Chains A and B, each alone.
Chain A
């Protein structure tokens, strides 16, 4: 099998915690050629640790190389459209982190650019590649719980979640202090950072597009300027309901927690933490779940499968394992939740279409 040559753009948190380690694991299929980041220190760290040939501070220089087969874009969502379109024009296949973009119009532009250039575009909704969710989906697809009526997904993240990863490098800080992920100039908060996962999964499990969403959000943590708390109820077109409460910045010792409950007319499927945590430690100070976060997001091979299956699809000239349209619809849902929480009213997905739902 031909080994593919890769370039990675954006050597921040998700690159160091997930994408670069996965590429190293997949070294028989992938050769990391170059990385790009506006932060020299972060890029150099990636070169040093993961063996890329070189690094660039301008991603366009990376795209100019004719020996790169695909790029893995790990930058914030407000950069995705520009970078994906440029990569498509440069003839590179593209794997891009979630959320797909900052707007639905941008997502459409990205899909069109990839189609026009004849390159593959896949958005990295990593949870679709874990056994936790694949087994759930398989149970639904086999009819074991009947017609899906309700998907409930609550997510909890402690304030210490990312510091616990002990990364070589962290989030990009445009002003030198505040990470972009907490800056309203660059992101819309929990709806796009966390809930886009839950919304993608809910849509997948419900087997339907959404009709409307009602949501409330707030800023809960200290020194945060974007909503880190979101509650929403989705009405799907097939009558199913999707609901979630997303809470970040919980006490340091609280475990990463994701409650998944799917009810059908013949039964239900549940995967709950910490009730089903694989490992607990009790001390004088209380209980902790040391393996919880890793088990859920990383050790479960999510990114290895995501990147590995993407590469296989290129090698076999097959469709991407996850159609970008699904990511586009999850993004539309997330943005609809933002709009609902800001306006205090039910928002219909037709309103999120670039043509205002006229089509």
Chain B
């Protein structure tokens, strides 16, 4: 048996460690190299799944691409020509943490099978508590990448409206994206729920089409306790590593470059649209 890793997982956080452990335990990829920091060498030519915290992802991706490895990463938001070229060439793709939720994983799979017939649009909203506003951008980027993964068509135009919702910093994003096949994605991420709500907040994704409407609300799967502390919900999501890893492995085989390019463009141009306060075309 060779000791050459079949998979590299990059990151020094609980998600990376748990995913590596799961990959080995479930026999999905064994051996696995857990690449904790960019100070460590990349000792394998195996595909790299980057699950690091947001500021570290670009560094991991650059090193892996320089070494010739295939890359799947959680959202990278820094504008970078090397990443841009790699995504366009099919050497790098973006995965969302939402792919780790069983419900969202199933929705993505049903979209790939085209079970909705002719696709009309995608509505996606993620609301989080006001006191978790610092995680707003991370929630936004993960939702953008997830939505793009549902739509196998080039992004054409995107508009974005931001709001402080009465506070001092941006607390809400409202994005409308148009794709070449006329699919319209409506994306809302807001830090608007009461502080007492669960940190995961409320997530709904709905895909409308001629033959079916697919609607996912993962947080509905929870135990509700109405007690001395009022009504509280305790979600019982399955742990993310299994589904997130499965999605990452699928993406390594997935040659739908358009979807990956759209994810990247959506990340890049939504910010531009918000700054310019106008819709931004993404056509050459």
Contact = CB atoms under 8 A, between A and B. Distances in A.
Interface residues of A, number: 36
A231 B184 contact: yes
B159 A254 contact: no
Contact of B165 (A149, A152, A220): A149
Interface string B192-217: 11100000000000001111110000
B279 interface: yes
A57 interface: no
Nearest to B273: A214
A216 B159 contact: yes
Contact of A231 (B118, B121, B190, B278): B121
Given A214-B159, A243-B174, A263-B190, A229 B278 contact: no
Interface string B112-132: 000001101101010100000
A345 interface: yes
A184 interface: no
A302 to B, nearest CB: 25
Q: Could you tell me the dominant secondary structure of chain B's interface residues?
A: strand
Contacts, number: 109
B152 interface: no
A215 B176 contact: yes
A150 B166 contact: no
B188 A152 contact: yes
A277 interface: no
A241 interface: yes
Contacts of A239: 163-166
A221 B161 contact: no
B135 interface: no
Interface string A174-216: 0000000000000000000000000000000000000000111
A344 B121 contact: no
B123 A154 contact: yes
Nearest to A158: B213
B176 A214 contact: yes
Interface residues of B, number: 37
A149 B278 contact: no
B120 A233 contact: no
Interface string A219-242: 111100000010111010001010
B178 interface: yes
B90 to A, nearest CB: 29
B157 interface: yes
A250 B121 contact: no
Interface in A243-292: 243, 245, 247, 249-251, 254, 263, 265, 267-268
B222 interface: no
A144 to B, nearest CB: 13
A169 interface: no
Contacts of A217: 184
A218 interface: yes
A147 interface: yes
Contact of A344 (B166, B194, B213, B279): B279
Contact of B192 (A150, A221, A231): A150
A127 B174 CA distance: 25
Q: Which 9 residue pairs across A and B have the least CB separation, nearest first?
A: A220-B120, A233-B174, A231-B186, A245-B186, A214-B159, A149-B165, A233-B161, A218-B182, A263-B192
16 contacts: A147-B166, A149-B163, A149-B166, A149-B192, A150-B172, A214-B161, A216-B184, A218-B121, A243-B174, A245-B123, A250-B213, A263-B127, A263-B165, A263-B192, A345-B278, A346-B159
Given A231-B123, A251-B210, A251-B212, 4 more contacts: A147-B166, A231-B186, A250-B120, A345-B278
